A and B are shown apart, each in its own frame.
Chain A
Amino acid sequence: MKDLTGRALNIAQVRGAAYADVRIVERVTQHITVKNGQVEALEQDESLGFGVRVIVNGAWGFASSSRLEGQEIERVVSQAIAIAKASALTKIKDVNIGAPVVSKGVYETPIKVNPFTISLDEKIGLLMKADAEMRRVKGVKVARGELAFVRENKEFASTEGSAIRQEIVESGCGIAAMATDPQTGEVQVRSYPNANGRHQQARGYEFVLEQKLAESAGRIGEEAVALLSAEQCPSVDATTVILDGSQVALQVHESCGHPIELDRVLGTEAAFAGTSFLTPDKLGNFRYGSEAVNITADATIPGGLGTFGFDDEGVPAQKTDIVKNGLFVGYMTSRETAQELKLGASNGTMRADGWNRIPIIRMTNVNLLPGTWDVKEMIASTDDGIWMETNRSWSIDDRRLNFQFGTEMAWEIKGGKKTRMLKNATYTGITPQFWGSCDAVGNDAAWVVWGTPNCGKGQPPQTAHTGHGAAPARFRNVRVGVIK
């Protein structure tokens, strides 16, 4: 591989690139889905290719190919250079990526059990057992379980002298039970450990075993069926809401993680993902949330889907304060955007969805740091409110201000106790007001690094795997409910 990266960089320099980097990426994914006692899908996919990024005439060009052959490398480098020259036709100023970054090293995700060494029999057996437990519950129409494993090997080299090899391993799993009532058209789903298919971490097969899918399957099935006849969550203009950790994680992802992406802030995602309400004038002086709110972007925590050794510009993984005691203090940056705001060096958040995509600013692990509250005490000290658990729908505006989330299950809280199950719960708000109303964050004991393996951004589309450490948290004066 070293020959290939060296050759690509050499051609780029000879043909006039002021800067070039090359990534060779091989990704293997295995995905198993069991539905109603049958293996619905079982596949293994391999993708191998390389991408070359160049700066020529002060502008960017990128080209990529799945053919790792000598002539193809020459063609792709030439294509990247031609593209950069075309980009320069509209340039306003030269690209500035700041001081050279020279990184050398190897990073491998620490794992105990390589998931690709576990037999298919064992994996299918694990899902089948959970599937049977869910379907044992009368009224479950569809039981579904899935496992997903990723191994990505990538080499990065640049004309500045970086030479990096990384191996990232991820394991994911989840189950869901769906109950329906054709008479009323009611459909209710309960998922475990997380919604939208699965929970995922940068860990080995030990992560899957720790989730104890089969042990939780019966409860999940029962909750799905119970939701069919549960009371509709009432619509209330202002009440207290406690969100479970997985929903807090998504709330952080959407209302903090995206608006702190400096490319959005600077307008380069304006046509697709949107911009951000966290404009540069707010850095260091804007009250994003209450004193209880402390948020970091941290690519170094164990198990996070945004944990790595180096980003895809070769910048070492870092921890950055984003919100400190409620004050907005930091962005996620790239080499180029950090120069734009004169923030110094990049804090290492450029990530690409494979060899055929350019790196763009993506969340690493954007975490709500643990608070001091025992979750039981949080509920016990709530006279009147709603507990909401496991995401069902999520939507937020293009500046990341107005959001609405729905959860699979909710519980009414009266006098410090969960009293009755509620269905179809939603809550809505404006980001800084919502985080400003946060008066309790769960402690270390309830803090989990949740995985979001489906974050979309960019054109052409890229899917990122991001992490979010979070515990349950309480919010006051929240508007709940819109369903007629």
Chain B
Amino acid sequence: MLGPDKVKEITSQALALSKADQTEVIFSGTDSALTRFANSYIHQNVAETNTEVRVRLVYGKKIGVASCNDLSPEALKRAVDTARAIAQRQPENPEFKSLPGPQPIQKVEAFVERTAKFTPEQRAQIVNVLCKKAKEKGVVAAGAFTTLGYELAVANSLGVFAYHPGTVADINTVMTSDTGTGYASFTHPDAGQVDAAALADEAIGKALTARNPGALEPGDYTVLLEEYAAMDILDFLAYLSFSALAVQEERSFMQGKIGEKVMGDAVTLWDDGLAPDTLALPFDYEGVPRQKVTFVENGIARGVVYDTLTAQREGKTSTGHSLPAPNSAGPYAEHMFMAPGSTPKSEMIKSVERGVWVSRFWYTRVVHPTKVLITGMTRDGTFLIENGEVTRPVKNFRFTTSYLDALNNVRAISRETKLFRDDWSGAARRVPALLVDGFRFTGVTQ
């Protein structure tokens, strides 16, 4: 972690090297460590120190982007020269108007010193709790524990300078009994909040209950989707549906639906990068402050997220949801929330005559984008519910079902929510558990 002064020095240095009409510099730095365990011992244990400087140069309407992870003056100059060469050799982008100008950015606290300074020994001690508990109960522990500190800065030649440091502690475990598995995870900016014993108990409990799963016919079932599974629904809506680019390209169900009923009455979804109960990040990769954007309010479609380019197409302003340039994916909701309900999670299955408890989804993929039709498997604890109680574990199902239909068939939403961080994108999701009718299982594994 270099700190705001040093980072500003680097971004200023890069800006000064550019003679373009407009220039943007994104600095990102990471100090991360991950302790990975399997077969109840640590088998991989890694650390990384990395930085990246990404420059976007604009000549009229010609744009070039280059990046490097070497902070030397020579490397910065090479990146600027490469971006200039790229910009000058490509046709104009008639849609481009300007990089964004400076706007006030709210400071949010997302950096916890003790997470940034977490040692390999501290991570090993926490992993050891999981492994010891596993051995005591005759199961096998696997998982990963990440602690990381990061800093992100965006500066441009119009006067933007935004800087934000943050930390993340993210731990997950799969416990394996002779014939069953169980999962648990926890994400928080403060590594001191990790309760290894509670995580172990949750996953071990599932792994033991999931032993000797029996067959159950595929078909339409009422399902309890634990937060781990419900998170996947938000992920796909962010990716497929809630981006202005997806709407503009007619591949989102939100196209032409603003103000119309698209989901069940109880469903409210939004994005808020400033919220205290997410992994907050107050600005996007263009240095635009993040706004709270409501996608669906009590089942009614309200809006989508924009970056500068997609906003300019519609004569709007960016909502602060850009990804780093050059960005083919369009704006992206990185801090999604689903409104909790009023039912305690422990009571959600009481009304279920016959249904399936789903702990987690796995390997979910798009079958049809506008229908939000998704296929995937259940994993790490799938159980039959009969007359309000879990009666037995069942083999994992394949489902092929519309997440849109699922959110139209929500019977209950838990009052508890859980925070997640996607390993690949870093996106944060806070979601409740869902009780959903008519969820379609289309196959079963062996």
Residues of A within 8 A of B (CB): 33, 35, 38-49, 59-67, 76, 79-80, 82-87, 89-92, 119-121, 124, 128, 141-142, 178, 180, 182, 185-187, 266-272, 274, 277, 356-358, 360, 392-399, 401-402, 404, 406, 424, 426, 428, 430, 456, 459-461, 482-483
Complex contact A185–B46 (CB within 8 A): no
Complex contact A86–B120 (CB within 8 A): yes
Please measure, in the bound complex, the distance between the C-alpha atom of A35 and the C-alpha atom of B67, giving whole angstroms: 22
Any A CB within 8 A of the CB of B49: yes
Q: Which residues of A contact B142 (CB under 8 A)?
A: 267-268, 270-271
Q: Which residues of B contact A456 (CB under 8 A)?
A: 424
Complex contact B47–A63 (CB within 8 A): yes
Q: Considering the complex, which residues of chain B in the window 332-377 have a beta carbon less than 8 Å from any beta carbon of chain A?
A: 362-371, 373, 375-377
Complex contact B124–A87 (CB within 8 A): yes
Q: Which residues of B contact A86 (CB under 8 A)?
A: 35, 42, 45, 119-121, 123-124
Q: Which residues of A contact B400 (CB under 8 A)?
A: 404, 426, 482-483
The minimal Cβ–Cβ distance linking A141 to chain B, given in whole angstroms, is 6
Complex contact B40–A460 (CB within 8 A): no
Please measure, in the bound complex, the distance between the C-alpha atom of A45 and the C-alpha atom of B67, giving whole angstroms: 5
Complex A-B, nearest 9 residue pairs according to Cβ-Cβ distance, in ascending order: A41-B326, A86-B120, A402-B445, A271-B142, A270-B142, A43-B65, A185-B370, A180-B250, A86-B124
Please measure, in the bound complex, the distance between the C-alpha atom of A84 and the C-alpha atom of B444, giving whole angstroms: 41
Please measure, in the bound complex, the distance between the C-alpha atom of A398 and the C-alpha atom of B382, giving whole angstroms: 14
Complex partner residue of B174 from A82, A124, A178, A271, CB under 8 angstroms: A271
Q: Which residues of A contact B443 (CB under 8 A)?
A: 402, 404, 428
Q: Which residues of B contact A92 (CB under 8 A)?
A: 39-41
Task: Using A38-B95, A62-B47, A395-B364 as known contacts, say yes or no to A119 and B89 having CB atoms under 8 A apart.
Answer: yes
Any A CB within 8 A of the CB of B312: no
Any A CB within 8 A of the CB of B113: no
Please measure, in the bound complex, the distance between the C-alpha atom of A92 and the C-alpha atom of B376, giving whole angstroms: 35
Q: Which residues of A contact B49 (CB under 8 A)?
A: 64-67, 76
Complex contact A45–B328 (CB within 8 A): no
Complex contact A459–B251 (CB within 8 A): no
Residues of B within 8 A of A (CB): 32-52, 63-71, 75, 78-79, 82-83, 85-86, 89-91, 93-95, 119-121, 123-125, 127-128, 131, 140, 142-144, 146, 172-174, 176, 181, 249-251, 253, 255-256, 325-328, 362-371, 373, 375-377, 379, 396, 398, 400, 423-424, 442-446
Task: Using A41-B328, A62-B46 as known contacts, say yes or no to A90 and B41 having CB atoms under 8 A apart.
Answer: yes
Task: Using A64-B46, A270-B142, A404-B398 as known contacts, say yes or no to A398 and B251 having CB atoms under 8 A apart.
Answer: no
Q: Which residue of B lies closest to A428 (CB)?
A: B443
Complex contact B34–A43 (CB within 8 A): no
Not counting A62-B44, A82-B119, A460-B146, a sample of 10 additional A-B residue pairs whose C-beta atoms are within 8 angstroms of each other reads A40-B326, A41-B65, A120-B85, A180-B251, A268-B44, A269-B38, A270-B174, A271-B36, A274-B379, A404-B442
Complex contact A46–B70 (CB within 8 A): yes
Q: Which residues of A contact B176 (CB under 8 A)?
A: 267, 270
Complex contact B249–A66 (CB within 8 A): no
Please measure, in the bound complex, the distance between the C-alpha atom of A481 and the C-alpha atom of B128, giving whole angstroms: 46
Complex contact B327–A41 (CB within 8 A): yes
Q: Which residue of A lies closest to B424 (CB)?
A: A461
Please measure, in the bound complex, the distance between the C-alpha atom of A197 and the C-alpha atom of B291, giving whole angstroms: 32
Complex contact B91–A39 (CB within 8 A): yes
Complex contact B42–A87 (CB within 8 A): yes
Complex partner residue of B91 from A79, A124, A185, A406, CB under 8 angstroms: A124
Q: Which residues of B contact A121 (CB under 8 A)?
A: 89
Q: Which residues of A contact B173 (CB under 8 A)?
A: 271
Please measure, in the bound complex, the distance between the C-alpha atom of A277 and the C-alpha atom of B326, giving whole angstroms: 41
Q: Which residue of A lies closest to B65 (CB)?
A: A43
Offer 30 A-B interface pairs, CB within 8 angstroms, sorted by A.
Answer: A33-B326, A38-B91, A43-B66, A60-B44, A62-B44, A62-B47, A82-B119, A86-B42, A86-B120, A87-B35, A87-B42, A87-B45, A89-B42, A90-B127, A91-B42, A92-B41, A141-B249, A180-B249, A185-B253, A271-B142, A271-B143, A271-B172, A360-B44, A397-B377, A398-B363, A404-B398, A404-B442, A424-B367, A459-B144, A483-B367
